[in-house]
Amino acid sequence: MAQENKNTSNIVDFKKELRDRESEIELLQDTFRLVASELNLEKVFDIVAKRAIQLVGAETLLIPILDKNNETYTYRAGAGKNTNEIIGESLPLDFGVCGWVWKNKKPWWRGTLKELDEKEHTQWEKEAGTLILVPLQGRKDFLGGIAAINKKNSLEFSRRDLNMLTLFAGIVSIAIENALAVKELEKTQNSLITHQHKLNILNKQYSESNKKIEQLSLYDSLTGLPNRTLLRDRIDRQLSIFTQNDEIISLLIIDIDNFKSINEALGHDKGDQILIEFCKRIKNHLKINETLSRLGSDEFILFLPRTNLKKTIIRTNSIFNELKAPYIINNKEFNVNASIGISTYPENGKDRKTLLRHADIALNIAKKRHSKYHIYNNREDETDESQINLSIDLNNAFNENQFELYYQPKIDIKSNSIVSAEALGRWIHPERGLISPIIFIDALEQYNLIDKYTYNIIESAVNTINQWSKDEHNIKIAINISTHTLMDPNFINQVKKRIPDFSISRKLIFEITESLFLSDHEYIFDTLTRLRSLGIELSIDDFGTGYSSLSRLKRLPVNELKIDQLFIRDMMTNFDDQIIVKSIIDLAHNLGLSVVAEGVETQEILEQLKEMGCDIAQGYLIAKPMPAMEFEVFLKN
Ligand code: C2E
Ligand code: CA
Ligand code: CA
């Protein structure tokens, strides 16, 4: 009976064990199936923890995972008792059983104690009985482990539990490794997206400030009209559009009579008020396609496409009508008169420059004859007296060495030391006295004498460099190179001819203007690169007034950027200007260019520029342009 009972209980035990084994295998298979297709790390952890706790009958199950720093591990998931307090906790790797498992790359259980030396035995004894921890080994790296704590019903974990959990860990480790990798990928992708996002914002800011600079540099700040630069672009563009249809186009230069005396009599503020009102009146009657822009202080240009001579005359008279009414200033009435010079396409010229020149001549004739307006007549170009005089005078100027170079210092803002000098042309006319370069450079260009003039001043600057070097002044000289000369096919050779060696060319800076970048890019790039290879530094002059797209500059081998004095002058009172100056400085620095501020007239502006990180300053505050000899004296003081 007893035997039978024992047999029966054996069979029951055996059946139970079989069932347990079957359900264990089922659990393992099921787990494997579940995690194999799961890439979400949190879900994988959840499945693993819940299955493992069931598998070994533990009170608590934890999954410690090695952190990326390889110095700590974090309990990333768990199931059972007290896990909430532990999950998320990070511990140093050499702390606790986890560190032991990581170091020894084998599972920990109570039996492990037997393998330890006495010291370790004592150290780990307390933790041993209640814990098994099996390693999670990925394909390449050690991932962490699965820890089962406290067998239920106050039992101890058996070797079988250890083997089962080891088998289980082997099955799920690859799934955990994959899910960890996916998570990591998502993280970097997210940071990539945030990076991309930040980059987009930066790019947007960049293009906005660029736009802002362009906006402010293409429009006249007083009247809001397109300025000379934008006008040039518009005329060129419209000429190419309208001329395809054999259209007649008229160009009107409108000039206020005696504006100088109005300004002097009423003051600049009132003068500005009149200018604003004046152009408002014309602007109010503009038709589609007509463009009004400001050419200079009291000169405006009106561009009339799709017209003919008769229509132009009617339009001109309507403008006079609009301008006729008196202007009220300080409750008093003022009459402001204007004169208009007109040229038409194709009759008086086929390109912008010729049309503008002829409209200008027509304007002078209108003024001389007090005839309100004058339409250019093709016979007038050659017979205009003042033009002939100027051309004779210019030729004399060369023969009699009437041109001279004045020098204006540029200082390093941080150290306050003079780093270079800009050479500025002066024409000492025997009868008219000192003539401004603004006038004679234009005239030289018009009479095709600018190349000759530029090569002369290069020679003269080289002599000055030699002279200053003898006196041990280590100062560079900047020369203004007009675009016309830079485009001369012989330019590089002519420059080379005048520069004896590298020690001189190293001290030369060529200032070029932005308008250059509208021309043939390849050719300019080549020329600039060759200048750089001679050791000559390149500087972009009057930056901000032209087509100031910095992205275009990025590709050119230039060293320096000069912010136009227009922006510097009003910097302390005009917030827009301040923003422009600051963004030009920042953007230029990003492109590796050094920045010069021109027209620095007050200490306050200099301080502000210093704060903004501007590198170099030039302006009346430091010194006005002066003859070379005087400059030497200035250097010694
Ligand atoms: P730029 O190259 O922009 O030269 C700076 C102009 O600003 C100079 O006028 C200079 O005297 C003036 N300036 C300097 N600091 C101040 C300041 O603090 N306040 C004010 N209100 N003005 C200041 P400048 O000498 O009359 O020359 C006018 C322009 O003529 C130059 O402008 C340059 O474009 C052109 N230029 C002068 N010399 C030459 C030359 O040799 N060749 C060529 N191609 N152009 C020249
Ligand atoms: Ca210049
Ligand atoms: Ca300038």
Using the atom order of ligand 1, give the atom closest to the CA of residue 405.
41
Q: Rounded distance, CA 597 to CA 564, Å? A: 7
Q: What is the pLDDT of residue 217?
A: 65
Whether 216 shows a pLDDT value over 90: the answer reads no
Using the atom order of ligand 1, give the atom closest to the CA of residue 424.
38
Give the three-state DSSP class for 449.
coil
Query: Model confidence at 16, in pLDDT bands (50, 70, 90)?
Result: low
Q: What is the pLDDT of residue 181?
A: 80
C-beta of residue 152 within 8 angstroms of C-beta of residue 59: yes
CA-nearest residue for atom 23, ligand 1, is 599
Q: Rounded distance, CA 482 to CA 442, Å? A: 10
Q: What is the pTM of this model?
A: 0.51
Q: Rounded distance, CA 410 to CA 443, Å? A: 28
Whether 528 shows a pLDDT value over 80: the answer reads yes
Cα of 543 from ligand 3 centre, angstroms: 8
Q: What is the pLDDT of residue 145?
A: 92
* Span 193-201, average pLDDT: 69
With b for 16 or more beta-carbon neighbours within 10 A and e for fewer, the 574-608 pattern comes to eeebbbbbbbbbebbeeeebbbbbbbbeeeebbeb
Whether 457 shows a pLDDT value over 70: the answer reads yes
Instruction: Look at strands 291-294 and 90-92 and give their pairing.
Output: unpaired
Mean pLDDT for the chain? 84
Q: What is the pLDDT of residue 142?
A: 83
Residue 80 token pair? 């059972």
Q: Rounded distance, CA 201 to CA 194, Å? A: 10
- Write the CA distances from 447 to 145, 220, 607, integer angstroms: 88, 29, 43
Query: Model confidence at 517, in pLDDT bands (50, 70, 90)?
Result: low
Cα of 481 from ligand 2 centre, angstroms: 8
Ligand 1-lining residues (CB < 6 angstroms): 408, 424-425, 436-438, 441, 457, 480, 482, 541-542, 565, 598-601, 618-620, 625
Query: Model confidence at 451, in pLDDT bands (50, 70, 90)?
Result: very high
Instruction: Look at strands 332-334 and 248-256 and give their pairing.
Output: unpaired
Q: Please give the domain boundaries of the chain with CATH numbers for all domains.
A: 16-180 (3.30.450.40), 225-387 (3.30.70.270), 389-637 (3.20.20.450)
Cα of 626 from ligand 2 centre, angstroms: 15
Tens of pLDDT, residue by residue over 305-362, are 888 888 898 899 999 988 888 988 888 888 888 999 999 998 888 888 889 888 988 8
Residue 366 token pair? 């209108």
CA-nearest residue for atom 33, ligand 1, is 480
The DSSP code for 68 is T
Cα of 596 from ligand 3 centre, angstroms: 10
CA-nearest residue for atom 37, ligand 1, is 424
* Span 444-450, average pLDDT: 87
Q: Rounded distance, CA 542 to CA 514, Å? A: 7
Judged by phi (left if over 0) then psi (alpha if -120 to 50, else beta), residue 572 lies in alpha
Q: Rounded distance, CA 279 to CA 275, Å? A: 6
Pocket test for ligand 1, best of 424, 455, 569, 602 (most atoms within 8 A of CB): 424
Q: What is the pLDDT of residue 205?
A: 66
Secondary structure of 395-426 in HEC code, one letter for each residue: HHHHHCCCEEEEEEEEEECCCCCEEEEEEEEE
Cα of 424 from ligand 1 centre, angstroms: 6
pLDDT greater at residue 580 or residue 620: 620
Whether 215 shows a pLDDT value over 90: the answer reads no
Instruction: Using alpha carbons only, give the angle 50, 51, 56 rounded to the nearest 5 degrees.
Output: 105
Q: CA-based Rg of the chain, rounded to a whole angstrom? A: 42
Q: Rounded distance, CA 258 to CA 335, Å? A: 11
Tens of pLDDT, residue by residue over 304-316, are 988 888 889 889 9
Q: Rounded distance, CA 183 to CA 45, Å? A: 12
- Residue 288: how many CB atoms within 10 A of its CB? 6
Query: Percent of the chain having pLDDT more than 90?
Result: 32
Q: Rounded distance, CA 193 to CA 185, Å? A: 12
Give the three-state DSSP class for 135.
strand
Residue 85 token pair? 């307090």
Using the atom order of ligand 1, give the atom closest to the CA of residue 601.
18
- Lowest model confidence (mean pLDDT) among 303-312, 477-486, 550-559: 550-559
* Span 7-16, average pLDDT: 64
Q: What is the pLDDT of residue 206?
A: 62
Tens of pLDDT, residue by residue over 377-391, are 877 655 555 555 677
Using the atom order of ligand 1, give the atom closest to the CA of residue 457.
41
Whether 17 shows a pLDDT value over 70: the answer reads no
Cα of 207 from ligand 3 centre, angstroms: 24
> Which residue is listed with tokens 């518009």?
234
Whether 548 shows a pLDDT value over 60: the answer reads no
pLDDT greater at residue 521 or residue 137: 137
pLDDT greater at residue 458 or residue 378: 458
Tens of pLDDT, residue by residue over 156-177, are 888 888 888 888 888 788 788 8
Give the largest CA-CA distance in the chain: 147
Give the three-state DSSP class for 106.
coil
CA-nearest residue for atom 46, ligand 1, is 480
Tens of pLDDT, residue by residue over 404-418, are 999 999 999 999 999
C-beta of residue 486 within 8 angstroms of C-beta of residue 512: yes
Whether 366 shows a pLDDT value over 90: the answer reads no
Using the atom order of ligand 1, give the atom closest to the CA of residue 621.
18
Tens of pLDDT, residue by residue over 248-289, are 899 999 999 888 888 888 888 888 889 999 989 988 888 877
Residue 469 token pair? 């070097």
Whether 1 shows a pLDDT value over 60: the answer reads no
Highest mean pLDDT among 182-186, 246-250, 445-449, 480-484: 480-484
Number of alpha carbons in the 13 Å side-chain half-sphere of residue 118: 0
pLDDT greater at residue 10 or residue 282: 282
Instruction: Look at strands 373-375 and 626-627 and give their pairing.
Output: unpaired
* CA-wise closest residue to 138 among 80, 85, 184: 184
Cα of 562 from ligand 2 centre, angstroms: 8
* Span 35-48, average pLDDT: 85
Paired with 433 in beta bridges are 429
* CA-wise closest residue to 559 among 575, 538, 579: 538
Residues in the chain: 637
First to last CA, the chain: 128
Q: What is the pLDDT of residue 400?
A: 93
Tens of pLDDT, residue by residue over 65-100, are 998 888 888 999 999 998 888 898 888 887 778 888
Give the three-state DSSP class for 40.
coil
Q: What is the pLDDT of residue 335?
A: 86
Q: What is the pLDDT of residue 463?
A: 95
Residue 130 token pair? 């209640």
Q: Rounded distance, CA 175 to CA 530, Å? A: 61
Query: Model confidence at 199, in pLDDT bands (50, 70, 90)?
Result: low
Whether 630 shows a pLDDT value over 90: the answer reads yes
Query: Model confidence at 574, in pLDDT bands (50, 70, 90)?
Result: confident
pLDDT greater at residue 602 or residue 5: 602
Q: Rounded distance, CA 322 to CA 366, Å? A: 19
Number of alpha carbons in the 13 Å side-chain half-sphere of residue 472: 1
C-beta of residue 585 within 8 angstroms of C-beta of residue 555: no
